[in-house]
Structure 1
Amino acid sequence: MEVAKIESVDWSACPLISIDKDVMHGEPVFRGTRMPVEDAIENYYAYRELQGMSDEDAIKATLESFPTIPALKVCVLCWPMRLPTSISCNLEHHCFGRGRS
């Protein structure tokens, strides 16, 4: 089974994510770290799709894989609610007070 391809996402609105050309060549990272967001997302989908875990188990495994990344705890909760081809961490409801559409 192949892991779903992740589309490019505009992370600039997410307060938990940092984009700086001097950090990881401008890749979106969890704020205050050098951990690329895409690595965590791919990890989650690898657990879910390649290992056949449920969303809940894939979330738990991803959180255990990256215990020092607090932003991951919020972002990872958004991933199962979106199609693998349109992952985003806009966190409309949690961070910006807007409901999900």
Structure 2
Amino acid sequence: MIIVTTENIPGYEVLEVNGFVRGSTVQSKNVGRDILAGLKNIVGGEIVDYTNMMNEARQLAIGRMKEHAEQKGANAIIAVRLETSNVTTAASEIIAYGTAVTVRPKVS
């Protein structure tokens, strides 16, 4: 599966537009992370546990988007975007979305 943020894939031609695809996940904080985050807010610096949690959430959302594209028979996703929003004060949603397409290498 080719996944790009651009509108096209250099060296490939689009044979079919399979449609909109998306994947999402909602991640919540936990008490242990919140205590450490509170301490980091006092002294400053990166909150590594939250960084790791959000990286995992992004990968999960992208994986679900990829599965959605595969269900539609696509072999690539173009114009991919990632967004984050707060669901509650203790949870955030990550959504990955794009356009599923079927592509093949261009013939010279």
Q: Does TM, normalized by the shorter one, top 0.5? A: no
Structure showing greater relative contact order (alpha-carbon pairs closer than 8 Å, 6 or more residues apart): 2
Q: Which has the higher helix share?
A: 1
* Structure of larger gyration radius: 2
- Output the TM-score relative to the length of structure 2: 0.31
- Output the TM-score relative to the length of structure 1: 0.33
Q: Which has the higher strand share?
A: 2
